[in-house]
Amino acid sequence: MIVTYYTYIVKCSDDSLYTGYTNDLEKRIDAHNAGKGAKYTRCRLPVELVYSEEHASKEEAMSREWHIKRLTRKEKEKLITRSNI
């Protein structure tokens, strides 16, 4: 069975951005909005998916998440603007 992993950015209701990775994007967004996904962040509900990328492996998704987390807010906004969500 082939599993696809996703790197994503959600925008929280307080306008903060949160980056993560998952193998079930829809379930993860639902968890964020149920208050479970923001357990380790200051993210305020609800969240809106503003960016996602598909990856063939968990390692690729984790690596991309690491790089996105190190971007400045302005760089993340440019990345979001260029995406097709």
Per the structure, the count of domains in the chain is 1
Q: How confident is the model at residue 32 (pLDDT cuts 50, 70, 90)?
A: confident
pLDDT tens-digit map of 2-15 = 889 999 999 988 88
**% of the chain exceeding 90 in pLDDT:** 58
pLDDT at 42 over 80: no
Q: Looking at residues 46-72, what average pLDDT do you find?
A: 94
Domain residues for 24? 5-82
Please tell me the distance from the alpha carbon of residue 15 to that of residue 34, in angstroms, as a whole number: 18
CATH number reported for the structural domain that contains residue 21 in this entry: 3.40.1440.10
In whole angstroms, give the CA distance from residue 81 to residue 85. 9
| pLDDT on residue 35 | 73
pLDDT at 75: 95
- Cα separation, 4 vs 67, in Å, equals 19
Question: What's the rounded Cα separation, in Å, for the pair 82 and 67?
Answer: 17
